[in-house]
Chains A and B, each alone.
Chain A
């Protein structure tokens, strides 16, 4: 046990060092760009993990909150010259309000009906952005979204953004982890397992469901405001139904009920989707195939395979060199 605990700490330190030093070793800015994008998507998946994985409320409309986050923060920065650090809370708040709005019908809906409601919300949001040209500039999209500054340092390069995104992802991961491994996460799980029984044990189920929607929307809103400044431009094409499906795929493939799984799934599928850029037309088909494979053969996602992988690696002669950590109960 002690060896494992020590190995675990070493493992974490090595991981942290790799994360912090990564940009120094990646000279190809395109790769760094993809990693940054995956970091932004990770925030969405973390929220979705709490909503769909823990609380069991499947959402196929996360791109809408992502869009709301992007547009609210970008418009505030463009028209009112508000600093990025004030635009972010405004965007999170706006996304959260819309999360609550969708959470209210979710009190009555479940299963496929809830999924349809979230798909509808996603499409409506996209169409409003597309057609409300006076504010959103329609299909042309917003351009020249200002760059953020941090203590008078202008964040411009891919490396700068890398550290900004990693810092926010770190905070987001910490919050998600605390929520998931607390009374709140336990209550979310109970609602997923049996709403009626949770209600009978005194859990105000409707309140918790709305809270889960609001939390996931706030995560997506945070991701949205990062995306705006990172890309510099934003148009309705960035927030389609395909994107919502992709976010859900990332969460399920990585492991729908684990924070680590959300991160793994997001990075894997973001990289995969870039690698398969030439097959863009078949993206949804590929995602669908991966999703079906995951649901049937590894319902706990990639992270759920960790114990099996660990057992395999323990049997290898080089196991001790790898400081491999026994997975904690999640």
Chain B
């Protein structure tokens, strides 16, 4: 039973950039249906770890297991079929397309439309297009953007664009959602909305891994927090435990004399 609870296992991942050991034998386990935060001071290796998981960087050593199956490195397009969707730190949307079209791309791997059906306006093409549309509208409804579905993305506000990215990730029907600094650049109202969405997602059974700088937010929504410093995993546990952990405090505030 224990094994089914572990959705993502990161095993002994190391990465060196020239003289810098960005990740030093990192291992961590994400449990199903939790919100797992990865925090740490600047240069701790959070982004490198995220890039390894999302297939942007090949690590020197180690492996990733998702639902007990090994994930390939450097093949970002295999993540969604495996059941992992992500958002980006500096929002990456299809700017001149509509909100709906953006979210529809999330349905890409779930709608195997045959080319011949597209050319002949066949039943399959219209069926899959309708399936994709319904899923996309559901995702948009969930984040509260239904009225904006026809708008061009670049005309939306920053907070709304974040939500479009969320909806796009949801439309990919993932088991695990990776959020790269989701609250970056958001105002308090938008942060509160984000908090609500993340909690709702957890209730719906999703697992969420997030990298975040906003400690208050992390402490509020995460069940488990992993703290990285200088490429090492220095602490892991519940928010209360992390808050009082001496190494975490010294990593963030510096050691006392």
Which residues of A line the B interface, CB within 8 A? 175, 178-179, 182-184, 186-187, 189-190, 193-194, 196-205
Contacts and interface: CB of A to CB of B under 8 A. Distances in A.
Contact of A202 (B93, B104, B109, B113): B109
A183 B124 CA distance: 12
A194 B81 CA distance: 19
B96 interface: yes
Contact of B118 (A179, A193, A204): A179
Given A200-B76, A202-B77, A202-B80, A187 B115 contact: no
A189 B108 CA distance: 13
A203 B118 CA distance: 18
B168 A201 contact: yes
Nearest to B109: A202
27 contacts: A178-B119, A182-B113, A182-B129, A183-B118, A183-B125, A183-B129, A183-B132, A184-B115, A186-B101, A187-B105, A189-B101, A190-B101, A193-B94, A193-B95, A194-B92, A194-B95, A198-B105, A199-B77, A200-B76, A200-B85, A201-B85, A201-B168, A201-B172, A202-B108, A202-B109, A202-B172, A204-B77
Contact of B104 (A175, A179, A186, A196): A186
B93 A184 contact: no
Given A200-B54, A201-B105, A201-B168, A189 B76 contact: no
Nearest to B168: A201
* Interface of B, helix, strand, loop or mixed by DSSP: helix
A190 B97 contact: yes
Contacts of B128: 183
B157 interface: no
Interface in B60-118: 76-81, 85-86, 88, 92-97, 101-102, 104-106, 108-109, 111, 113, 115, 118
B93 A194 contact: yes
A93 to B, nearest CB: 16
Nearest to B153: A193
Q: Choose among B105, B109, B121, B128 the residue with the greatest number of A CB atoms under 10 Å from its CB.
A: B105
Nearest to B91: A197
A194 B129 CA distance: 22
A172 B105 CA distance: 26
Q: Choose among A179, A196, A197, A200 the residue with the greatest number of B CB atoms under 10 Å from its CB.
A: A200
A189 B115 contact: no
A175 B120 CA distance: 9
B76 A199 contact: yes
A182 B125 contact: yes
Contacts of B77: 199-200, 202-205
A197 B104 contact: no
Contacts of B125: 182-183
